[in-house]
Amino acid sequence: MITIRDERPDDADAIRRVILDAFPTADEADLVDALRADGQLVSSLVAVLDGAIVGHAALSPVTVTGAERGVGLAPVAVATACQGRGVGAALVSGALDAARTRGAAFVVVLGAPAYYDRFGFGPASTWDLHDEFGGGDAFQVCAFEPDVLRRGSGAVRYAPAFDRFTTG
């Protein structure tokens, strides 16, 4: 059974190992470390399976003109040995619940539309929103409150730790 819980102070090393296993470079692990050091983790969740941390999801603040209380879901990591077992879905659902509980009005994500649409995400372009990473159709939003986003709001800005990933 997969358990989703908040990160604890002694989880940082295990989280880093999971992220390093899930991604081809250390960029995402370094990002989470930077967000943690900067106090920019709105929520940091771990997935525990058989007593071991096998997944992680981070929420950090985002800003957009005319909207408040937004968060970005990134990164989401699952240890390769546990992929395809529902860990990622449990993390995304847990992250959305955590976002709502902590008062977020919307969540943005950069990921596969076919995966994230089942959680209530839709194209950010519907609101004329765009990201600074060139995500195109992969840039999506899940709004918890009606009319929280105004059409034409423009660029969504992530926490400064994300600057290493921008396209220009």
Question: What six digits make up the tokens of 92?
Answer: 């995304």
What's the whole-number mean pLDDT along residues 63-76? 90
Sequence ranges of the domains in the chain: 2-165
What's the whole-number mean pLDDT along residues 145-158? 80
Percent of the chain with pLDDT over 90: 80
- Give the predicted TM-score (pTM) of the model: 0.94
pLDDT in tens, 74-111: 999 999 999 999 999 999 999 999 999 999 999 999 99
Chosen CATH of 2-165 out of 3.40.50.720, 3.40.630.30, 3.30.70.60, 1.10.8.50:
3.40.630.30
| Cβ-contact 67, 150 below 8 angstroms | yes
Q: CA-based diameter of the chain, in Å?
A: 46
- When pLDDT is cut at 50, 70 and 90, the band that residue 128 belongs to is confident
